[in-house]
Chains A and B, each alone.
Chain A
Amino acid sequence: MAGPMKMRATLAGGYTDVRVLMTHPMETGQRKDAEGKALPLHFIQNLTVKVNGKTVMEGQISQAVSRNPVFFFRLRGGAKGDKIEVSWLDNRGETNKTETAIA
């Protein structure tokens, strides 16, 4: 079950700042529930940032990234209206993506 994502992309001074929030438990596999049973690993592994369909950043992350991850990226140039797409894939094969236009 993939929770909502939020993204903002703003053009300023020749760069586009991208801020993206993902809803994900990012469970480390080390925490225990009330009965002392370990909570299984569940975390995002791959991230992709695309501009107008072209990949500009590919990330791989571990369970050490905080719950409900927030990432900032910075793109060279960009024009208002350019489409930014961010997607993720987790260790259970769940996936989600969001798209926004540069403002």
Chain B
Amino acid sequence: MNDLRRKTLLGAAALLLLKPFAALAAWHKEAFGAKSAPDALKSLGAANPAPSQDVVIEAPQIAENGAVVPIEITSNVKGTTSILVLIDKNPFPLAGKFDFSEGALPFVKLNVKMGETSDVRVVAEAGGRHYVATKEIKVTIGGCGG
């Protein structure tokens, strides 16, 4: 078998393997690779979110263990379709982007790692506009290096 044909076959096999996830939105490499929260927001088209009390962050004021910091997020902004979670002082601030469609409420609870005491920003997107809430969480033992 010639080399070209083998490569074509390998390519076809790879495509078949990837197909189940073809519909999935690609992982946003640029935003997740950004080293500052404003850069991450810029690359997601959410550069200047308006502060809002309708975005609610529930998290401990002091996290004893930075490896597992529970954060609960609710957006009461009508028509919220997406929630972004950023930890300002982590090496790569963007921790998650959650896109909700009709059947799901704009709510998520998750555990994150925090390297040090930091502001946590949550941005909600609704109708192409962005709203932000910020909460500082103090960390006594960091959870990234070690």
- Residues 73-96 of chain B, each 1 if its beta carbon lies under 8 Å from chain A, else 0: 000000000000001001110111
| Residue B99 CB within 8 A of the other chain | yes
Q: Are B67 and A66 in contact (CB under 8 A)?
A: yes
Question: A59 contacts which of B32, B92, B99, B114 (Cβ < 8 Å)?
Answer: B99
- Chain A binding site: helix, strand, loop or mixed by DSSP? strand
List the A residue with the shortest CB-CB distance to B18.
A93
A34 within 8 A of B: no
B145 contacts A31, C-beta separation under 8 Å: yes
Residues of B in contact with A (beta carbons under 8 Å apart):
17, 20-21, 24-25, 27-28, 32, 67-69, 72, 87, 90-92, 94-105, 107-114, 143-146
CB pairs A–B below 8 angstroms (10 shown): A49-B104, A60-B27, A61-B96, A62-B92, A65-B95, A65-B96, A65-B111, A66-B67, A76-B105, A89-B21
Other A-B pairs, 16, CB within 8 Å; known A66-B110, A72-B109 = A15-B105, A45-B27, A54-B103, A61-B110, A62-B94, A62-B95, A65-B95, A66-B68, A66-B143, A70-B110, A71-B109, A73-B108, A74-B104, A75-B105, A77-B103, A89-B21
